[in-house]
C-alpha cells in the first residue's frame, strides 16, 4: 500500500501545484500571454508598469494575472500598467482579455487599465446569431474574478457582418463571475455599453460605472444590460455607484435594463443621472430593488430618491450624504469597522458600521484610482508618471514626476473633498510636501499644469 499512497500524494500535489510560483513580466517572460501559457494552476503572473499591447486569453489557467497592485494596494499601479487591445492579431478577436475555457473564481484579473479593445465576433450559443461583444473583457461559460481594474475606452460598436454589438466594457454569458471594485467608464456599445449579462449569474459589487454610452438597441442599458437566466443562479448587483451613463434610445435607459430575467437583486446602490430615464427599466420581469438611492424613485424596501451629495473627488460621499448608513441594515452588509474606533466605519466608508449606499459601502469597499467627480470628470492617465514617497508620512513626503513640470499647482484635499492647502508655480521634477498641521488621515494630492490634471494621488498622514 505504501507505493500506492505515495503515488496518490504526488498526484494530489501535482494537481494543486503545491510549488506555486510568481512569474514576472517582463522579468521572466516578454509578454503576458507567454507567461499565461507557461503557468500552472495557482501561479501568480506579476506584470510591471508599462503599456502591453496584447489581447490575452487565460486558456483555462487558474492563475492570478496582476499588476504590482498586489504588493500593497497602491492604485497608481492600476493607472501605470495598461493592457491595450487596439492592435489584435485578428480584427475579429479584439477583446483585451478573454475567458472562455471554463475558468473559475481562482482565475483572477487584477490591477490593470484595460483599454482599446473592440470586441470579439462570435456565434451566440443560444441561437440568437453572430455578435461582436466584450470590448474590454469577454467572459463565456466560466466564472473568473475581475477586480480593481480601470476598464475604459473600449468599444463594441462595429456591426459589420454581425447582428449587433454590445458589452463595451465587459460581456458575461453563461457563468457566475465576480466583478469587484472596478472603475468602468467611457466604454461604448449598442447595448450594455458598461456590462452585458446574457443568460448568466454574476456578483457585481463595489464598482463605479460612469459615462458609458451608446445603447441604440435592445432597451439600451448603457450601465448594465441583463437578459434571461442561467437556471436560478442569481444576478447580484450590490453597492455600486452608477451615474451619467447614456443611451441613444428614447424608449430605453442609460442605467440598468433587465429583460426577461429572474433572480435579479439590486441593493445598496446609488443609481442616478443616467439618461434617458427611468434609471431601472424592467421588461417582462420584476427585479428586486432594495435600499437603493434611485433618481425618480423605485418601489422597494429602503429605497429613496435624494441627492447623494458627492464630494469633488471620486464619488466619495460627503459627510452630509443621506446615503451614509442607509443601506440594508443586516450585519452581513455592514461596512468594515475602524480598528481604532470600532463603533465607526473604516474609510472609505463613513458614519457607523451600517452599510453605506454606493461603491464605498459594505465589506468589500476599497479605493479607486482618484479622479474628479461630476463637474469635471477627468481620468488620470500615466503619460507623466508620478510617484510619492514615503506614503504614509508623518513629517514630509516627496512627489516625483517622470518629466519636467512648469508653473504647476499642487492642491491637497481631505477625504471629504475639502481643500486643505495649495502650492502654486511649482517647477521641476520633485516637490517636497510638508505636513503643515494636517491631522492623521487620508488625503488626496492633485497636480495641475496648464489646466490639465497630471495626477491625483492618495496619501496617508500618520503620527
The structure's pTM equals: 0.86
Closest CA to 305 of 316, 317, 292, 315: 292
Write down the residue that cell numbers 493592457 correspond to.
83
Q: Is the pLDDT confidence value at 15 over 70?
A: no
Q: Is 251 exposed, middle or buried (0-12, 13-18, 19+ CB in 10 A)?
A: exposed
Q: 244: number of CA atoms within 13 Å, CB side?
A: 13
Q: How confident is the model at residue 414 (pLDDT cuts 50, 70, 90)?
A: confident
pLDDT value of position 416: 62
Mean pLDDT of the chain: 91
Closest CA to 120 of 170, 73, 70: 170
**What are the pLDDT digits (tens) for 289-333?**
999 999 999 999 999 999 999 987 899 999 999 999 999 999 999
Give kind and range of the element (H or E) at residue 93. Answer: strand 93-94
- Percent with pLDDT over 90 in the chain: 79
Could you tell me the three cell numbers for 333?
452588509
Q: How far apart are CA 180 and CA 233, in angstroms?
A: 18
3-state helix, strand, coil in the chain (%, to 5): 5, 40, 50
pLDDT value of position 63: 98
Could you tell me the three cell numbers for 269?
446602490
Closest CA to 304 of 338, 282, 279: 279
Residue of higher predicted confidence among 6 and 158: 158
Amino acid at each position: 500500500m505504501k507505493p500506492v499512497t505515495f503515488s496518490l500524494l504526488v498526484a494530489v500535489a501535482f494537481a494543486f501545484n503545491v510549488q506555486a510560483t510568481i512569474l514576472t513580466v517582463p522579468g521572466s517572460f516578454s509578454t503576458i500571454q507567454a507567461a499565461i501559457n507557461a503557468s500552472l494552476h495557482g501561479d501568480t503572473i506579476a506584470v510591471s508598469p508599462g503599456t502591453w499591447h496584447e489581447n490575452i486569453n487565460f486558456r483555462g489557467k487558474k492563475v492570478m494575472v496582476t499588476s504590482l497592485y498586489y504588493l500593497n494596494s497602491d492604485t497608481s499601479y492600476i493607472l501605470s500598467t495598461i493592457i491595450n487591445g487596439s492592435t489584435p492579431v485578428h480584427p475579429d478577436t479584439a477583446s483585451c482579455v478573454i475567458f472562455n475555457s471554463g475558468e473559475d473564481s481562482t482565475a483572477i484579473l487584477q490591477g490593470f487599465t484595460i483599454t482599446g479593445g473592440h470586441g470579439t465576433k462570435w456565434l451566440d450559443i443560444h441561437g440568437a446569431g453572430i455578435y461582436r461583444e466584450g470590448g474590454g473583457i469577454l467572459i463565456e461559460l466560466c466564472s473568473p474574478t475581475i477586480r480593481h481594474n480601470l476598464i475604459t475606452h473600449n468599444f463594441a460598436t462595429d456591426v459589420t457582418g454581425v447582428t449587433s454589438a454590445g458589452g463595451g466594457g465587459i460581456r458575461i454569458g453563461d457563468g457566475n463571475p465576480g466583478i469587484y471594485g472596478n472603475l468602468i467608464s467611457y466604454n461604448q456599445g449598442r447595448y450594455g455599453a458598461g456590462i452585458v449579462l446574457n443568460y448568466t449569474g454574476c456578483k457585481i459589487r463595489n464598482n463605479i460605472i460612469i459615462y458609458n454610452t451608446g445603447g441604440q438597441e435592445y432597451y439600451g442599458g448603457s450601465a448594465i444590460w441583463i437578459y434571461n437566466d442561467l437556471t436560478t443562479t442569481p444576478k447580484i448587483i450590490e453597492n455600486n455607484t452608477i451615474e451619467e451613463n447614456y443611451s441613444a434610445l428614447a424608449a430605453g435607459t442609460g442605467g440598468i435594463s433587465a429583460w426577461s430575467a429572474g433572480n435579479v437583486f439590486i441593493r445598496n446602490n446609488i443609481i442616478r443621472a443616467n439618461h434617458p430615464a427611468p434609471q431601472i427599466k424592467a421588461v417582462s420581469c420584476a427585479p428586486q430593488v432594495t435600499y437603493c438611492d434611485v433618481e425618480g424613485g423605485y418601489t422597494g424596501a429602503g429605497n429613496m430618491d435624494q441627492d447623494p451629495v458627492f464630494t469633488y473627488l471620486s464619488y466619495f460621499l460627503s459627510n452630509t450624504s443621506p446615503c451614509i448608513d442607509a443601506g440594508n441594515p443586516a450585519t452581513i452588509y455592514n461596512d468594515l469597522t475602524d480598528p481604532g474606533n470600532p463603533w465607526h466605519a473604516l474609510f472609505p466608508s463613513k458614519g457607523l458600521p451600517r452599510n453605506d449606499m454606493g461603491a464605498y459601502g459594505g465589506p468589500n469597499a476599497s479605493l479607486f484610482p482618484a479622479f474628479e467627480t461630476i463637474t469635471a470628470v477627468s481620468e488620470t492617465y500615466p503619460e507623466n508618471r508620478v510617484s510619492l514617497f514615503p506614503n504614509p508620512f508623518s513629517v514630509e513626503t516627496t512627489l516625483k514626476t517622470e518629466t519636467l513640470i512648469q508653473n504647476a499647482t499642487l492642491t491637497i484635499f481631505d477625504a471629504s473633498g475639502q481643500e486643505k492647502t495649495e502650492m502654486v508655480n511649482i517647477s521641476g521634477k520633485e516637490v517636497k510636501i510638508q505636513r503643515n498641521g494636517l491631522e492623521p488621515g487620508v488625503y488626496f494630492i492633485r497636480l495641475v499644469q496648464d489646466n490639465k490634471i497630471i495626477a491625483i494621488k492618495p496619501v496617508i498622514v500618520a503620527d
